[in-house]
Amino acid sequence: MPNAKAYSVASATSPFTRTTIPRRDPTPHDVQIEVLFCGICHSDLHQARNEWSAMPTVYPCVPGHEIVGRVTKVGSAVTRFTAGELAGVGCLVDSDGTCPECKAHYEQFCPGAVYTYNSPDKHTGRVTYGGYSDSIVVNERFVLRIPPNLDLAGTAPLLCAGITTWSPLRRQGVTKNKKVGVVGLGGLGHMGVKFARALGAHVVVFTTSTFKVEDAHRLGAHEVAISKNAKEMSKHAGSFDMILDTVSALHDLTPYFAGLKRDGNLTLVGAPDQPHAVPAFALIFGNKSLSGSLIGGIQATQEMLDFCGEHRITSDVEVIPIQKLNEAYERLLKSDVKYRFSIDMASLKAE
């Protein structure tokens, strides 16, 4: 079994350090990919620091599920990819392919879904290791086509931040004449703004960071509200068809329920471990709904990537060498990134 270079954490409080991990030789249906860029998702941080009680972290942990790379080798039965082509890998690397969820293109809900990191790996007997690595081997069903016209560093975050925001916006039927709020202008939030705008909606950003107001407009928001300012919040009462909440920490949802119009929907994609308080009356008056949304299936991910190719949409990234991972995590916690870190994996190859 060949080894790959990677960065891992050994415990919830350890820094990232260089390591080697096993990667299988491609089986007949596998695609071997040289990782070129990998985005840093806040989920990577939650998982590396064991912040999710429902999904305990197995150490060592190699996160990374926003992967763009180049195919280096394919298994004998692979039909969709050949060596030399660009390829993407998101949060999923396998599923049973036969259950009702898989048949409905919701592989993320398959009982046998294998996530890109921290999932049991039947090939190695360990857990899966993600994209903070120089290579990865993935079943071809989970490999995405990358539009040829996009910047690769900015394309990597589409594989999680992109699909996670695209999917609920589409499910809620966001289009022109709809008013959409996006809460939190981070990695997910800034993609939510770009997509809602490209789909024709009137877009309002809710942010805690006054220094992001100008950027919010540049990214596509028609209006911006500072969420700590009650006056700015009340201005939008009863007006939204949908609000997409991307916040990674516990916060008060009540002002967002108040922002919804009758039958409006608040979708949570942000995933803090602690439970949010949900006041019943804030939902009952107005037939409002609260939903969650988990990434998206493979077909929807390809649709989103194709849309990005057509509309020239990528993530705004700060490209970093992998040696800056620990620093990047501290900055992510302070919302100090515009608006996604993308690791240039050439820095790992050079080590």
Q: How far is the CB of 33 from ligand NAP (least distance, A)?
A: 21
Per CB under 6 A, does 209 bind ligand NAP? Answer: yes
Report which DSSP code applies to 9. B
Per CB under 5 A, does 41 bind Zn ion? Answer: yes
Per CB under 6 A, does 43 bind ligand NAP? Answer: yes
**112 - beta bridge partners?**
none
Nearer residue to ligand NAP within complex by CB, 134 or 316: 316
Near Zn ion by CB under 5 A: residue from 78, 150, 158, 160:
160
Report which DSSP code applies to 120. B
Per CB under 6 A, does 332 bind ligand NAP? Answer: yes
Which of Zn ion, ligand NAP, none has residue 212 at its interface (CB below 5 to 8 Å by kind)?
Answer: ligand NAP
Nearer residue to ligand NAP within complex by CB, 6 or 40: 40
Which of Zn ion, ligand NAP, none has residue 175 at its interface (CB below 5 to 8 Å by kind)?
Answer: none
Per CB under 6 A, does 212 bind ligand NAP? Answer: yes
Query: At residue 61, what are phi and psi to the nearest 5 degrees?
Result: -120, 130
Task: In whole angstroms, give the CA distance from residue 331 to residue 222.
Answer: 27
Which of ligand NAP, Zn ion, none has residue 249 at its interface (CB below 5 to 8 Å by kind)?
Answer: ligand NAP
Q: How far is the CB of 40 from ligand NAP (least distance, A)?
A: 8
Q: Is 345 left (phi over 0), alpha (psi -120 to 50) or beta?
A: alpha
**Which residues are CB-neighbours of 29 under 8 A, at least 6 positions away?**
75, 77, 78, 139, 140, 141
Among the listed residues 101, 100, 119, 31, the one whose alpha carbon sits nearest the alpha carbon of residue 69: 31
Task: In whole angstroms, give the CA distance from residue 129 to residue 18.
Answer: 14
Q: How far is the CB of 265 from ligand NAP (least distance, A)?
A: 15
Among the listed residues 350, 332, 333, the one whose alpha carbon sits nearest the alpha carbon of residue 342: 332
Per CB under 6 A, does 186 bind ligand NAP? Answer: yes
Total number of residues that touch Zn ion (CB under 5 A): 3
Nearer residue to ligand NAP within complex by CB, 68 or 74: 68
Q: Is residue 337 within 8 Å of 318, Cβ to Cβ?
A: yes
Q: Is residue 200 within 8 Å of 175, Cβ to Cβ?
A: yes
Q: How far is the CB of 342 from Zn ion (least distance, A)?
A: 13
Per CB under 6 A, does 197 bind ligand NAP? Answer: no
Interaction residues for ligand NAP, span 81-110 (CB under 6 A): none
| Contact map string, positions 214 to 253, toward ligand NAP, x by CB under 6 A | --------------------------------xxxx-x--
| Binding segment (CB under 6 A) for ligand NAP, from list 26-34, 178-186, 193-201, 311-319 | 178-186
| Contact map string, positions 124 to 163, toward ligand NAP, x by CB under 6 A | ------------------------------------xx--
Task: In whole angstroms, give the CA distance from residue 55 to residue 135.
Answer: 25
Which of Zn ion, ligand NAP, none has residue 236 at its interface (CB below 5 to 8 Å by kind)?
Answer: none
Q: How far is the CB of 291 from Zn ion (least distance, A)?
A: 18
Integer angstrom CA distances of residue 108 from 202, 220, 267 = 30, 29, 17
Beta strands 17-22 and 260-268 are unpaired
Helix (H, G, I), strand (E, B) or coil at 157: helix
CA torsion through residues 225, 230, 232, 233, sign = positive
Nearer residue to ligand NAP within complex by CB, 4 or 305: 305
Among the listed residues 73, 108, 70, the one whose alpha carbon sits nearest the alpha carbon of residue 92: 108
Task: In whole angstroms, give the CA distance from residue 174 to residue 26.
Answer: 40
Near Zn ion by CB under 5 A: residue from 8, 19, 32, 43:
43
- Binding residues (CB under 6 A) for ligand NAP: these are 41-43, 46, 160-161, 164, 184-189, 207-209, 212, 246-249, 251, 269-271, 293-295, 332, 335
